[in-house]
Structure 1
């Protein structure tokens, strides 16, 4: 028995290829979007770096306090002077690195990806993935619906 299909069992318009757009264009824009997604992941790691480094700075301060309480005042002073509150790059704490990344490279890549989608796919997102989903799902089968 062949599963029943209906017009609702197709991707929504927001994820369909605009008329006249060829396979190569859909693939290329899909690759650009994939690059943006990788950059999003890198940005997440950068924020992890920011938070982990900030937390470690407080731990260094606590270690210095504990060393001082244990009678190692000179070592505690050295840690506070050399490490606590230290720049991670010349003149920069991690929040400054995050801001530069966000305002520079990250925003530029996001803007270009959006611009290319606007120019070539009428702003539609994930057209390549939507077509991949269509090629892999079983139409009409439970758990394989085209959309919610």
Structure 2
């Protein structure tokens, strides 16, 4: 790779004076946030699945009526259809409360720590792990996505 810098881009290089411990701590904080992102996704799945089930109850009520079970249709309509999932809350309200009470403050704190402790450079821990695991000169182990490949595709 003559004439091409095969190091991580500037945004993924450790700023001068940032310790191993700081990089590891920020990596741990980032991993925790990524876990929260996944948890939030599950919360949205809960929200959408619960809403889908509630909408399906409309069909169940209609079919119970058609089958001659008006009492059961009315029981489903009044006892389950549109019911709060926890006192006073539909699922959208749970999602909103989670976002404002936990998710947004967590996300803002993680970003502020990266800004103050690592000059805003994200994923330093992962970038350094990538560097330690790359095979120098291998076309599929380049540091950056913009690394040029030759016509044969062997990276040289």
TM-score bracket for the superposition, by shorter chain length: over 0.9
Contact 1:5 1:140 in 2 (8 A): no
User: Structure 2 length as normaliser, TM-score?
Assistant: 0.90
Distance in 2, matches of 1:99 and 1:125, equals 27
The corresponding residue for 1:84 is 81
Provide closer, same or farther for how the CA distance between residues 126 and 80 of structure 1 changes in structure 2, counting only shifts above 3 A. same
SS at match of 2:28: helix
TM-score, normalisation: structure 1? 0.94
Match of 2:91 in 1: 94
Deviations 1:104-144 (Å, cap 9, x if unpaired)? 20001001000110111001100000000001111210111
**Which runs of structure 1 show a deviation greater than 4 angstroms over 4 or more consecutive aligned residues?**
4-7
Q: Structure 1 residues 102 and 22, CA, compared in 2 at 3 Å: closer, same or farther?
A: same
- Aligned-residue Cα RMSD (Å) equals 1.2
Partner of 1:105: 102
Q: What is the Cα deviation at residue 23 of structure 1?
A: 0.6
SS in 2 for 1:86: coil
In the comparison of the two structures, how many residue pairs are matched? 145
Q: Does residue 38 of structure 1 match 2:35? A: yes
- Structure 1 unmatched ranges of 5 or more: none
Higher RCO (CA 8 Å, separation ≥ 6 residues): 1
The CA distance in 2 between the partners of 1:104 and 1:33, in whole Å, is 19
